[in-house]
Structures are given as structure tokens and as C-alpha cells.
Amino acid sequence: MDKLIFKHDLSESLVSIGPITIYWYSLMFLLAFFFGYKLMEKIYVKEKKDLKLLDPFLVHMVLGTLIGARLGEVFFYNWNYFQNNLLEIFLPIKIDENGWNFVGYRGLSSHGATIGIILSIVIYKIKYKYESVLWIFDRLVIVVALGGMLVRIGNFFNSEIVGNYTGSEFGVIFLNRSENLPRHPAQLYESFGYLILFIILYTLYQKTKLVEKKGFFFGFFLMFLFGVRFIVEYVKESQGGLENYLGILSTGQWLSIPFMIIGLVLLMRSNFNKI
């Protein structure tokens, strides 16, 4: 530790067995789904919902998250690469002149994941005949906030989605990227923001009846989470994508704006629903 500088040389991998490597990032994803399932189980018990509906709920969540996140990365950020490497879209490998290497699914988009989750849960709602899809979303967002926090910690271990150089004696030097200048730990900024969001949502769920105002929790979640994302983008290194064509804002900021608008509309609409 040098003043307020942390030298990051943490290993990306938890364990390696032959050609297979288990990364911290993958572990964070698994923990996100595990804790999310347990938290939803408590919610279902509290609200006297059939626990038999939880297993298919988890399946829809996992598929929606992973497929949406992957396609979001492909089309929002990195189509120039993937259009020439189509096999790598859904296979956890990287192909080069030396053959193939198992790398896991390291290119995932949070905006794509959000779209994937929404679509998968709408399908889940129709299939299992819930009275309102907003009932699900208003509770699911508590889980997603916690999961987002864990995933961003995984990004930090991977030394990816890094921030800009700080130009000061504060920040993280990502030695795994062969760097010697400190950057903003943008992943940890987002992770902390999502932790605060989780605490707020969980406290409101436990201590108030606001969850009965359909759309309030979902709207608050979209406004807060993508508001955090929008702000952190100002100190985050460019990831390319839409900003190459639209300019002014980063790709993450352009993609966050529609979600924040939807969140605002849901919050305003929820005020017409009496508790």
C-alpha cells in the first residue's frame, strides 16, 4: 500500500484443473444465483406463495441473465469482433492461431442482462399465471441488486471494466494489465452503489408496505441502479460500442437512459396505487 494506492495483483482464478479454470468471476455469479434463490425463497414463504414455483423461476432467471448478458455484450459493445467469431458467442472458449482456450463467459453486459431477465420473467409470469408481472419484479429487484454487487466484485478480480487513470496518488494499479499508474476502481464504485441499493430495498421491504404499490420497487431500482451506472461511466475507461457512432455519452450511459426513464414512469404510476 502506497498512500491511497492499492497494487492489484490478485489472481483471476480460484482453481485450475488441467485446461479447466474456475474464475472468481464465475464464483461470484454462482453466489449471486445462490443467495438470490435463498432470498426469493424467504419472500415466497413470507407472502405464502407456492415454493414449487421457485425452481422454474431460477431456471428462467439463469437463462435470461446469461443469454441476455451475452447478447448485450455482442451487439451493444463488440459486434465488430464477434461477427468474425460467431462460435465464441455462446461457447466459453477463445479461438486463435494456437487453437482454443477455455476462458469462460467474460464478456457480459449488465444492460443485456436486464433485458434478458425482464423477457424471461414475463414468459415465466404467463406460463405460471401470476396475477401481475410487477408483483414479481418488485421483489426480484431486491435479489438483482445483491447479485449485481457480487458480479462487479468478480469484474474487479478479473481486472476488467476498469476506470480511467486518476492522475493522483489515489486508485488501483492493475499489475495484471502490466500497468504502473493508478486507475479509478470503477467496478468497486458500482459494487458499493448496488450494495446501498440492496440495503435500501430490503429495508423498505421489511419495514414498510411500499411493496404493495405495484411498480414502486421496480421503478426505484431502475432509477437508482442505472443512475449509479450513468455516474460511474464518467470515470470508466471507454468500452467502445454505441459511443463510436453516437458520441457525447458513453455506450453505458446511452443504454442507461431508457431504463431510468422507464423507472421514473413506474414510480409516477405507482403513486396512483394505494397501499
pLDDT band at 84; cut points 50, 70, 90: confident
In this prediction, residue 75 has a pLDDT band, given cuts at 50, 70 and 90, of: confident
- Is pTM beyond 0.85? Reply is no
* pLDDT(191) > 50: yes
Q: Which residue has the higher pLDDT, 65 or 93?
A: 65
> Where do we find the cell 431477465?
117
User: For position 92, what pLDDT does the model report?
Assistant: 62
pLDDT recorded at residue 104: 58
Residue-wise burial string across 159-198, b where 16 or more C-beta atoms lie within 10 A, e elsewhere: bbbbbeebeeeebbbbeeeebeebbbbbbbbbbebbbebb
State residue 117's pLDDT score. Answer: 87
- For 95, the grid coordinates are 479461438
Q: How confident is the model at residue 68 (pLDDT cuts 50, 70, 90)?
A: confident
Q: State how far Cα 78 lies from the chain centre.
A: 17
Is residue 148 left, alpha or beta, with left meaning phi > 0 and alpha meaning psi from -120 to 50?
Answer: alpha
| pLDDT, averaged across the chain | 85
Residue 49 predicted with pLDDT over 90: no
Give me the pLDDT at residue 110, please: 75
Please check the confidence at residue 1 and state whether its pLDDT lies above 50. Answer: no
When mean pLDDT is compared across 15-24, 196-205, 259-268, the lowest value belongs to 15-24
pLDDT tier for residue 94 given thresholds of 50, 70 and 90: low
Average pLDDT over residues 165-187: 91
Q: What SS3 state is found at 20?
A: strand
